[in-house]
Structure 1
Amino acid sequence: MRAMQVTELGQPMKLRDIPTPDPQPGQVLVKVHTCGLNFGDLLIIKGTYQEKPQLPFTLGMELCGTVVAVGEGVTAVATGQRVAAYCGFDALADYAAIPADVCVPVPDQMSDEDAAAFLIAYGTSHVALDYKAHLKAGERLLVLGASGGVGLTAVELGKLMGAEVIAVARGDDKLQVAKAAGADHLINSDSADIREVVKSLGGADVVYDPIGGDQFKAALRACNPEARLIPLGFASGEVPQIPANHLLVKNLTVIGFYWGGYTRVNPKVLTDSFETLITWYVAGKIKPHVSNVLPLEQANEALDLLKTRKATGKVVVRIAG
């Protein structure tokens, strides 16, 4: 089968022919239709992600496909079933052998592109805002990186949950994408003083931050008393150091959050979240924003759209059918 593999850290992936895997006990073999790309994929190629697989390896954290074989002991997933899955690796290939318990049934009305763009972005934002930050209707939510894969879903879900949403992104074009997702206020990070604008709007009660660096520092200083901050990524390249005295004076809470970790420590958090999110999708309340769909042969170009921040929402690679 074809697989887009990392053979050397820091270098472009190579399209290689490798053996089709057999599903092991507890696994299913999925014929991959589409793969959703994520910022974490860029970190994996650089060797700076939390998980460091042995070279060579196949990239691709999430997929949509059809189950073509099941391993020993698998009863909850059947051959012929269309599923989405957060698998961590192996999705940029014709087939992927993945744990059955990470598979989520895909409703008929959800396209392959939407399904591949759904789990990580919406799952991250929903668990962060609902389970971790306990966002309440009427609160003011500040979303940094609001036009990106996870940031855009935070805008959409925050609005759906009743918050007043402030979206921060680079450039007017990206801000218009955030506005279409439901943002009430727009801040251009290229030209505006984030702290001053947020304070003029009444301050932030919850901060959703996949960016880090100077934007986190500005957001911290724009928080209301008892605000909650969720640092969930550092796309700026700078991990901010948090002054404890600022937390003390305003009774602030900084919430550590790694969505993928729940697959090991408490998977029910994710399955409950997916159930809610898919119900909202079927009801027409949420819809993934996919800015680009490219074939497997152009997976390096697809990743470059993320790296250069030319994409909005999600980038999807189509593998089959």
Structure 2
Amino acid sequence: MQYQAVVRKFGPAAEAVEIERAALPVLRRDQVRVRLLARSINPSDIITISGAYAGRTTLPFIPGFEAFGVVEACGEDVYGLAPGTRVLPVRGAGGWQEYKHTDPSWCLRVPDGLSDFEAATSYVNPMTAWLMLHKKIGLRPGMRIAVNAAASSIGSILIGLANAVGVEPVAIVRSEESRARLSGSLEAVIVDRADSDLATGLAGRHGLDAVLDCVGGAHASILAAALKPGGHFVHYGLLSGQSIPPSFWSSHPDIAFSFFHLREWVHSEAMENVQRAYAEVAAQIAAKIIATEVREVFPLEKIRLALQSTLPFRTGGKVLLA
């Protein structure tokens, strides 16, 4: 038997997620059983539970896109992955349970140099940040970039990775409390509290090579106006809850706009490329260039308390299930 966090109807996470006990299914010949040890709670989990992706999510389901564990058993047809291997099973959700049966080719190998909690936070934010910087905008010394929501978990990772190649970003935050949480070398900090704050803060800072935006809304146009012609605008989240207005594209025809969603990249790439990218990210974590603060840890069976502590998402570290 095992504990599982199950969603049987879409809705607010703290109401929709139920903890249940269930028998372990029979392990198929082509699968591995991973004993999960630590799991992150991410915005992508909460959005899926809400029903925003109802068209590609079948009820009931077990949430959890980011979970670390150890291979406990292998089916008869599995080769190259032995019991005891530390892995991140990344194909879809299913991390909020004690055991996960999965395709071995979708298990990313986790190096021994990462702690369990580092491993449990090594995929969603670090991979997203590394891929946006190195695959989307081609980060290199001398670039000038802006990071929105810079005091968030992924914002701090973006700053650390940029600093590693000598780039000092413009950091955009929402409060003085968030400003106080910033670390790393920065070109400037803009506290965006009122309608005019962002435009005033960016005045004289035009000619940016790239903007990394996870907020959306009308301020996207202000950020885009600070880009040089051909500059990259990478949009990867919607913390404001407001879409980028339609006028954005007609007003900024000379920029290179793109969305980034980790799930789409992973599912479009060969797994050896995903593993190669993850190895790069894991090396950055082991070297302490990437670090994720953990705020609280709850046992899986206390999922309701964990969700109450997590929501609404704010700066100050991740909540884990372990």
Question: Do the structures match in fold with TM over 0.5?
Answer: yes
Structure 2 Cα separation of the partners of residues 23 and 216 of structure 1: 48
The equivalent of 2:9 in structure 1 is 8
The equivalent of 2:291 in structure 1 is 287
Q: Deviation at 1:50?
A: 7.4
The equivalent of 2:269 in structure 1 is 266
Identity %: 24
Runs of 4+ in 1 over 6 A off after TM superposition: none
My pick for the range that moved more, 93-102 or 28-37, is: 93-102
The equivalent of 1:189 in structure 2 is 192
The equivalent of 1:170 in structure 2 is 174
The equivalent of 1:245 in structure 2 is 250
The equivalent of 1:158 in structure 2 is 162
Q: Deviation at 1:25?
A: 4.6
The equivalent of 1:219 in structure 2 is 223
Is contact 1:167–1:183 with CA below 8 Å preserved after alignment? yes
For residues 1-321 of structure 1, the aligned pairs below 5 Å read 1-10=2-11, 11-49=15-53, 52-177=56-181, 179-191=182-194, 193-242=197-246, 243-248=248-253, 251-267=254-270, 268-318=272-322
Structure 1 residue identity aligned to 2:177: D
Q: Deviation at 1:284?
A: 3.4
Structure 1 Cα separation of the partners of residues 76 and 242 of structure 2: 45
TM-score (norm 1): 0.89
Is contact 2:4–2:98 with CA below 8 Å preserved after alignment? yes
* Runs of at least 5 residues in structure 1 that lack an aligned partner in the other structure: none
Is contact 1:12–1:300 with CA below 8 Å preserved after alignment? no
What SS does structure 1 have at the residue aligned with 2:319?
strand
Q: Deviation at 1:215?
A: 3.1
TM-score (norm 2): 0.89
My pick for the range that moved more, 43-52 or 229-238, is: 43-52
Structure 2 Cα separation of the partners of residues 182 and 42 of structure 1: 32
Structure 2 Cα separation of the partners of residues 232 and 126 of structure 1: 13
Is contact 1:148–1:311 with CA below 8 Å preserved after alignment? yes
Is contact 1:62–1:88 with CA below 8 Å preserved after alignment? no
